Structure 1
Amino acid sequence: MSGASSSELLKIADAHVRCGEWQQAIPFFQASLAIDGAQPDAWFNLAWAQRAVRSFDDALQSYQQAIDRGVSHPEEAHVNRAAILSDHLDSPQRALAELEAASRANPFFVPALLNLGNLYEDLGESDLAGAAYGRALDVHPGNGRAHARIAMIDLAVDQSAGVVDRLRKALDRTTTLEDRAEVLFALGTALDNAADYDDAFQAFEAANWIARSIAPQRYDPIAQEDLVDRLIAAYPADRPLSVGGSSLNAPIFVCGMFRSGSTLLEQILGRHSAVRCGGELEAIPALAGRLLPYPEAAAALSAEQASALRAEYLKIVPATGIMTDKRCDNFLHIGLIKTLFPESKIVHARRNALDTFLSIYFLHFGEAITYGNDLSEILHFYRQYLRLMAHWHRVFSVDIIDFDYDHLVAEPDKAIFDLIGALGLPWEDRCLVAGSSANVVRTASAWQVRYPVHRRSSGRWQRYRHHLEGVVTALAQMEEDFASRPTNAC
């Protein structure tokens, strides 16, 4: 870097960014800013790179520098600061302040208003969330996300009258396919709530058809099968387990299929005085993404490398108590998890397969789940999930605790008592009391889990039986192949 000008260093940094080489870009941004610190865009781009490599405190400082030095769109920097504070640093109140600052900087910046509404939903503040989404509609009357979220809040707080009619009118206001899909998913939910199941399924089919048509990436069944094959090969049953050391505060990892009851499960665990809810953390997938080729590189970690990764993960763990990590698709990374945390327990959330399929199909995941918009692709993904979980059970045996959602809703006291005992935690009566924990809920189930356990979602697929005949037949054949179940279920 010696002798290079500030602009030359920026060009090198930008070239690394274009290639997704965030770590390599950072020193060039820093060197350029050391020469000329009055470059707000460079501070913003440095912050972006620091966030990409999970240097969250540094990213916060760099975004603030961009704001202080007059970046042209300060609202974007405030929204990025809010995302870091909320998603990674467990500071929702500071995140709220950043989003309000973004709205003051630009009252017409819809992403700030949508994020504000979402964060208020996480906090259980339905009125404030609705008001934020309403402000977004004042700016953009056709915004599908705002219409959908207001409808979902109304359904959750039992103000469903008129929701279906409002959503049908909202369809006429949408201007993009994404907005139309958002409203159709919400309309399907409202019709399901009104027991109009045929029209509900028709709305969900239309929503998923649009979502598939605009998805930037489609589900690749061959790639998924190959990944599962490689995971099974990388972690054979006779593999030595202890690599990463031990810790009294190793997290409890909750995983399984999406929409399998994992959020409710985590909230139940969070009622225990020793447990802190971490939510859907991206730490394990982020670490896995750096170990290339994955999973072979992860399986070949030395004790020193594993300890370093373990220490990096533990930076997000509270000083006291046991944290839960509820990232559902961490079932793909159980081998890595047990390498870093040999003493950790894995709670495997399970639910009736057809209820799980419908719940995925009825929810708008956006780009997060590539298989969610097609029932045949959900079925294929589920088969690979069963195959991999059967392998993990063989490898890690008693450290994987199966927890069945349908057992929970049928016999909640027994299911919860058995789970707490399986985790080796002392029993506390508060574990049976809904609402005894005050956790932020960052999930599509944010409103459902705030109420006592109920049976309304168990067996839900029966209402749609005649729409699912092909799926039911295919699933029955599949389950014959996986008839044997682990004995350590609770």
Structure 2
Amino acid sequence: MATAALSDDPGDALAAARDLVATDPGRAAAALTQIVDRHPDHCPALRLLARALRGIDEPGIAAQLDQRAIDTAARRPAFRAAIAHFAAGRLDRAEAIARRVLAQDAEDVAALCLLAELARRASLPDEAERLLRRALTLAPDFTEAQVNLAKVMAQRGDDAAALSLLDDALAGAPDDDGALAARLAITAQSGDYPSAIALYEDALGRRGRDARLWTDFGYLLRTVGRREEAAHAFRAALAIDAGLGEAWLGLSHVARPPLDLTDVAAMERALGESTDARRSVPMHFALGRALEGLGKHAASFRHYAAANRIQRSLLPYDADATSDMVDRAIAFFTPERLRAAGTGGTDSVAPIFVVGMPRSGSSLVEQILASHPAVEGLSERPDIPRLVARVLGQAGTYPEGLARLTSADLRALGQSYLRSTAASRRTSRPFCVDKLPENWAYIAFIHLILPEATIIDVRRDRQACGFSNFAQYFPRGHGYSNDLVDLAGYQTDYRRMIDHIDRVLPGRVHHLSCEALVADPEAQVRALLHAIGLPFDAACLRPHENHRPVPTPSAEQVRRPINRSGIDRATPYAAWLNDLSPPKSPEVTAPSRRE
């Protein structure tokens, strides 16, 4: 075996060593060490040697060899090309290369992890989990795979499993930035804000010069309404890194008094020194907000436009795909099909879905509802898109993939939704609000699996809502918001879908105008509660007195009394917003099904 290991082709020696790993790992390790000495970049030999060393209780050296194999594979031209395509958003090309790499070496951990990340981003958590568990079977101590698997488990709503994985990762790599960041973020995501704050405070005690950590802490403090402390955290981050756009943007939301010309000059100076396009996006948004507050609307719009131009290049959006999906949904969800499936689903009145465009007033509506003693607000839940992805993973495209679902399937999906939300509940209140805006695309699916759930469509003036989206930094998703024409098209597609639901399921959706709500809160709140089947409660007219965490961009607005302050925000920008104004059409005024 030793002679074979010194040849130019280690294949025979490798095969012989592989046979020994399970029965005599010590001898296998000796042979494999000779192969690795001769062929230091031979990834299969490195991985097999790591496995043999684990068999003789040398896990530390084994972990180093696994990492060496991963690093070696990641340096190869094919994988580097895949990563370049991934970074540029060319995900199909990245996937094709990664699959070719894996076809040549089925144990390439780097390729497995890249495919898993692509699956995670495509909302295919089952596939992502399978790939990552395979990677961890091959490299049990690979921290990046542990962290990514934790993110997948969190994506599936299993925060407990995610946190357990991260605890294991941090036990082996206590200084790993990715594991620490994920541990902090998922703790907060789980709704355990006191624990999340304590973890951040502990981490900052050890890493007080970490600007990103201070910034994330600032956003957490903003979520729980500790505005002054959030501003301090953002300022602490900027004292370390004056060019951190996310910190400036967070500060622009919580600073009292608002950012001034000195702050604008500091941001412009940092922006001029930046060579990183991604880093400049939140800085442009922060400058847009600061200049808007100072009444300099032309300069403000220039920065909003610059931010969106860059973001659009980083997050491509396929407007035709959205329109096509709506066309197909309109054709698929006929009255006959919906009647035929009407015996399925789970008969629970607990869920309240608030849908519509982002920045339409949905956070205010949730805050109003969560101020009722019978309602718990759960913010933006990913459960419905997850269920749709689960169905499509087995049955194809949406909505056509739903055709094969039986009544029992629909009932099981409804029960799965209820179990998932129950795991995140903090109270025993009988109703709960799920306010993920893009659930508008899945209203018919929601009706099929939860036929007694309440669905509320919150609407806002198209130009006002469109501009508010254009001026909002969305780090991921919402690609339509980066272009005014795409925004107008997306709003049209959303309204086409809702209009169709009103035709085939009249009265199923309760419509609420943001402008009407702030003009006459009591009348609109009474109608809203009636649509759900709840008695009026005066606390719903004082949502600002509800101190629940609000993890959305509207955190500051919902902590103020109901008012018109943001209604006319787009007016000074009207000259630049013509693309948001399609031909006028009547507003939908379909009655609630409970009337």
TM-score by length of 1: 0.88
- Distance (whole Å) between structure 1 residues aligned to residue 407 and residue 537 of structure 2: 37
- Distance (whole Å) between structure 1 residues aligned to residue 231 and residue 109 of structure 2: 41
Match of 2:179 among 74, 77, 80: 77
Change (3 A) 1:300 1:199: same
SS in structure 2 opposite 1:323?
A: strand
Q: Which ranges of structure 2 fall in alignment gaps of 5 or more residues? A: 1-18, 26-46, 52-65, 67-106, 117-126
The residue identity in structure 1 corresponding to 2:180 is H
Aligned pair 1:55/2:158, yes or no?
Answer: yes
Mapped contact 2:225–2:547 kept (Cα < 8 A): no
SS in structure 2 opposite 1:372?
A: helix
The residue identity in structure 1 corresponding to 2:115 is C
Q: Deviations over 1:382-428 (max 9, x none)?
A: 11111111112123322210011000111111111111112110111
Q: Deviations over 1:130-166 (max 9, x none)?
A: 2222232233221011112112211xx4x12x52431
Match of 2:240 among 109, 133, 139: 139
Match of 1:224 among 312, 322, 326: 322
SS in structure 1 opposite 2:550?
A: coil
Matched with 2:506 is: 397
Change (3 A) 1:75 1:297: same
Instruction: Give the CA deviation at 1:211.
Output: 2.6
Match of 1:413 among 509, 522, 542: 522
Instruction: Give the CA deviation at 1:459.
Output: 3.4
- Distance (whole Å) between structure 2 residues aligned to residue 96 and residue 12 of structure 1: 38
Instruction: Give the CA deviation at 1:167.
Output: 2.2
RMSD: 2.8
- Distance (whole Å) between structure 2 residues aligned to residue 100 and residue 363 of structure 1: 29
- CA radius of gyration, larger in: 2
Mapped contact 2:323–2:493 kept (Cα < 8 A): yes
Matched with 1:362 is: 471
Higher alpha-carbon deviation: 344-353 or 176-185: 176-185
Change (3 A) 1:27 1:203: closer
Q: Which ranges of structure 1 fall in alignment gaps of 5 or more residues? A: none
SS in structure 2 opposite 1:355?
A: helix
Match of 2:115 among 19, 29, 35: 19
SS in structure 1 opposite 2:353?
A: strand
Q: Deviations over 1:331-364 (max 9, x none)?
A: 0111221122110010100011111111111112
Aligned pair 1:172/2:269, yes or no?
Answer: yes
- Distance (whole Å) between structure 1 residues aligned to residue 573 and residue 239 of structure 2: 37
SS in structure 1 opposite 2:355?
A: strand
**Counterparts of residues 22-171 of structure 1 (less than 5 Å):** 22-25=128-131, 27-28=133-134, 43-68=146-171, 70-71=172-173, 73-87=175-189, 89-154=190-255, 157=256, 159-160=257-258, 163-171=260-268
Bigger helix fraction: 2
Higher alpha-carbon deviation: 16-25 or 276-285: 16-25
Mapped contact 2:458–2:513 kept (Cα < 8 A): yes
Change (3 A) 1:278 1:354: same
The residue identity in structure 2 corresponding to 1:326 is K
- Distance (whole Å) between structure 2 residues aligned to residue 107 and residue 43 of structure 1: 26
Mapped contact 2:132–2:145 kept (Cα < 8 A): no
Change (3 A) 1:42 1:234: same
Q: Which has the higher contact order (CA 8 A, sep 6+)?
A: 1
State the aligned residue count: 471
SS in structure 2 opposite 1:403?
A: strand
Instruction: Give the CA deviation at 1:327.
Output: 0.5
SS in structure 1 opposite 2:433?
A: strand
Mapped contact 1:299–1:335 kept (Cα < 8 A): no
Q: Deviations over 1:298-338 (max 9, x none)?
A: 35322333333333322323343311001011101112211
Higher alpha-carbon deviation: 48-57 or 133-142: 48-57
Q: Deviations over 1:442-481 (max 9, x none)?
A: 1111111110111122233332232234543xx1x2x34x
Mapped contact 1:78–1:99 kept (Cα < 8 A): no
Matched with 2:410 is: 306
Mapped contact 1:22–1:50 kept (Cα < 8 A): no
